[in-house]
Amino acid sequence: MIINLAWKNIWRNKTRSFVIIGAIALGLFSGTYLSALMTGWVMDTVNADIKINLSHVQIHDSTFLQNSDIGAFFNKTAVEQQFASSNINGKMTCRLKLNGMLASANNAVGVTAKGIFKDTEMTVSDIATQIPDSFGVFLPDDARMPVVISEKTAEKLKVRLKSKIVFTFSDIHGNMQSLAFRVSGIFHTSNGLFDEANVFVRYNDIFPVTGLPDEAVHEAAVLLPDIETCALDFPKIKDLYPQLKVQDWKELNPMLSMSLQWTNLMSVIIISIFLFALTFGIINTMLMAVLERTRELGMLGAIGMSKRKIFSMIMLETVFLTFVGSIIGIILAVALLLPSLQNGLDLTPLIGNDFEDFGGFSSIVYPILNVEMILEIIGLVILAGILSAIYPARKALKLKALDAIRV
Amino acid sequence: MTTIIETKNLCKTFKDSAQEVHAVENVSLNIAEGEFTAIVGPSGSGKTTLLNLIGGLDNATSGKIVIDGQDISMLSEKQMTEFRLRNIGFIFQAYNLIPVLTAKENVSFVMDLQGRKKSETNARTRELLEAVGLSDRMDSRPAKLSGGQQQRVAVARALASKPKFILADEPNANLDSKSAQHLLEMMEKLNEQEKITFIFSTHDPRIMAKAKRIITLEDGKIVSDEYK
**Cα–Cα distances in Å, from B125 out to B103, B115, B187?**
9, 14, 17
Residue A94 lies in a domain: yes
Overall average pLDDT of the A71-87 stretch: 94
> Are A191 and A211 contained in the same domain?
yes
Q: State the amino acid at position A188 in one-letter form.
A: H
The answer to whether A194 and A130 have CB atoms below 8 angstroms apart is no
Name the strand (E) or helix (H) holding A139: none
Closest CA to A371 of A362, A359, A379, A383: A379
pLDDT at A256 over 90: no
The answer to whether B172 and B204 have CB atoms below 8 angstroms apart is yes
> Are A44 and A79 contained in the same domain?
no
Helix axes A307-343, A371-397, angle to 10 degrees: 160
pLDDT of residue B97: 93
Residue A64 lies in a domain: yes
**pLDDT tens digits for range A106-120:** 999 999 999 999 999
How buried is residue A224: exposed, middle or buried, by Cβ count under 10 Å (0-12/13-18/19+)? buried
| Domain membership of residue A63 as a residue range | 57-223
> Are A261 and A401 contained in the same domain?
yes
> Are A37 and A152 contained in the same domain?
no
| Best of A13, A299, A303 to mutate (most B CBs within 10 Å, chain B) | A303
> Are A133 and A36 contained in the same domain?
no
> Are A68 and A17 contained in the same domain?
no
Closest CA to A294 of A133, A173, A405, A153: A405
Number of domains in chain A: 2
Q: Using the 3D structure, point to which of A223, A238, A266 is the last residue of a domain.
A: A223
**Cα–Cα distances in Å, from A6 out to A3, A292, A368?**
5, 15, 36
Q: For the residues of A11-47, what is the DSSP string, one character each?
A: TTTHHHHHHHHHHHHHHHHHHHHHHHHHHHHHHHHHH
- Who wins on pLDDT, A203 or A257? A203
A296 at B interface, C-beta within 8 A = yes
Residue A236 lies in a domain: no
**Terminal CA-CA length for chain A:** 26
Residues contacting B212, CB < 8 A, separation 6+ = B35, B36, B37, B227, B228
Residue A231 lies in a domain: no
Chain B residues touching A1 at Cβ < 8 A: 105, 108-109, 112-113
Q: Using the 3D structure, point to which of A165, A198, A223 is the last residue of a domain.
A: A223
CB contact under 8 A, B109 and A5: yes
Q: pLDDT confidence of A352, banded at 50, 70, 90? A: low
pLDDT lower than 70: segments of chain B: none
B99 at A interface, C-beta within 8 A = yes
CB-defined contacts A:B, below 8 A: 64
Q: Using the 3D structure, point to which of A204, A223, A242 is the last residue of a domain.
A: A223
Which of A369-383, A385-399, B6-20, B26-40 shows the lowest mean pLDDT across its residues?
Answer: A369-383
pLDDT at A343 over 90: no
Residue A241 lies in a domain: no
Nearest neighbour of B92 by CB, restricted to A4, A9, A299: A299
pLDDT at A359 over 60: no
> Are A39 and A77 contained in the same domain?
no
> Are A12 and A64 contained in the same domain?
no
Overall average pLDDT of the A297-322 stretch: 91
> Are A38 and A67 contained in the same domain?
no
pLDDT of residue B154: 93
Domains of chain B from N-terminus onward: 3-100+165-227 (3.40.50.300)
> Are A156 and A216 contained in the same domain?
yes
Residue A228 lies in a domain: no
pLDDT of residue A192: 85
Residue A87 lies in a domain: yes
Give percent helix, percent strand, percent coil of chain A, each to the nearest 5: 60, 20, 25
Which of A37-46, A164-173, B72-81 shows the lowest mean pLDDT across its residues?
Answer: A37-46
Closest CA to A88 of A216, A183, A224, A180: A224
